Amino acid sequence: MKKKVLLALLAVFAITHLVLVFTHKTFIYKALIYTYPDINDQDLFYRRTIAASPRPHPWPISSQYNQKNLPVRLDTLLQSLETTAFLVVKNDSILFEHYDDSYSDTTHSGSFSVAKSFVGTLIGIALDKGYIKSLDEPIANYLEAFKKDGKEKITIRHCLMMSSGLNWDEAYASAFSITTEAYYGTDLEETVSRLKVAEEPGKYFDYKSGDTQILSLLLRAATGKTTSEFMQENLWNAIGAESDAWWSLDDKEKNEKAYCCIYATTRDFARLGKLYLHDGKWNNQQVVSSSYVREAITPNGLLDRETNQPNDYYGLQWWIYPNSYNKQVFYARGILGQYIIIIPEEQLVMVRLGHRRGEKTGKHPLEFIEMVNMACEGKF
């Protein structure tokens, strides 16, 4: 009897496995084992190294470095969300930094969707250098899978604005979603090629990691370099990164998980903030054109699906925060509370890394709003 039950279970498993193989769903095994993405997932995947700059630019340290404690309200909130790193750069010098959970200024942490702002920047650089002719070029000019089935209408700008109209399901909690497949699967190019047009591109803002992944595949096709190689040569070196970074891959020697999964130090993440604080210029070098930077951090005007009004919170792979202080605030954001926040009027960049993110108030997470409030009130 026991033998029959065992054989029946083996048969069910074999059939299930064949179904998963046939439907491209074997990534579910990893999803079930690891359950939910974590900031320390770097060893789960193959990765590509982005080497430290051969001419690193160490951060200047402010004369007021760590002389003030964090406001109690903010400190309590950050602790409750298991913050691992919090860094404040003011006037291009490190004013404050604090680490928990065995983190330090040399510890690497996962970026999650903060990576999207890096990819957007790389697209701007590729445009500046002539690898792509215009943001309004069709994706089909570079990727064969976009030459049919209505996908030929999708442009680079549509993907930058999160408005491809493709049927990407942005669901991290579901083991069966395409976002989970992208994270745990082994063929991002094939995954993207299966996407279908769900609506007219360029009308609604609809946050989809697939749009950023498409931009990375396009970048490789346009430049002949991997996204990591292009980043190292045109961004990481230029901004004087002091440490190597890593970008997780879908499989050995294949494609970057470009919508997420850069691993870097807190101080090196802050460099992207300084670059945008200075309109795309690092010291005396224009790394990405100021015109592209301005467009990236200006609301793209796509309709919000819930209100049917033009959105005021997203540009080109950057979030934007309208606020009661009437100060310009824009930021990169990851699902577990990863932030690079820029407030030009305060000459300030903040980086927060950690294990959890708070609830949203409208479009923006609670702890992000609190960090901005404290900065705009001159608490740093």
Ranges in the chain, pLDDT < 70: 1-36
Domain count, the chain: 2
Q: Are residues 141 and 2 in the same domain?
A: no
- Which DSSP string do the residues of 245-291 spell out, in sequence order? EEEEBSSTTS-B-TTS-EEE-HHHHHHHHHHHHTTTEETTEESS-HH
Q: What is the C-alpha to C-alpha distance for residues 79 and 97, in angstroms, rounded to an integer?
A: 14
Whole-number pLDDT of residue 175: 78
Whole-number pLDDT of residue 267: 98
Q: Are residues 134 and 190 in the same domain?
A: yes
Q: Are residues 19 and 42 in the same domain?
A: no
Q: Render pLDDT for 148-168 as a digit per residue (tens, 0 to 9).
A: 999 999 999 999 999 999 999
Q: Are residues 144 and 28 in the same domain?
A: no
Q: Are residues 5 and 98 in the same domain?
A: no
Contact 211, 170 (CB under 8 A): no
Q: Record the pTM.
A: 0.93
Residue 172's CATH number:
3.40.710.10
Structure tokens at 197: 């047009």
Q: Are residues 311 and 195 in the same domain?
A: yes
Q: Are residues 30 and 156 in the same domain?
A: no
Q: Are residues 46 and 4 in the same domain?
A: no
Whole-number pLDDT of residue 14: 44
Q: Are residues 216 and 247 in the same domain?
A: yes
Q: Render pLDDT for 251-285 as a digit per residue (tens, 0 to 9).
A: 999 999 999 999 999 999 999 999 999 999 999 99
Q: Are residues 31 and 42 in the same domain?
A: no
- 3 state SS of 97: strand
Q: What is the C-alpha to C-alpha distance for residues 185 and 154, in angstroms, rounded to an integer?
A: 25
Q: Are residues 29 and 41 in the same domain?
A: no
Q: What is the C-alpha to C-alpha distance for residues 211 and 249, in angstroms, rounded to an integer?
A: 17
Q: Which domain holds residue 359?
A: 36-376
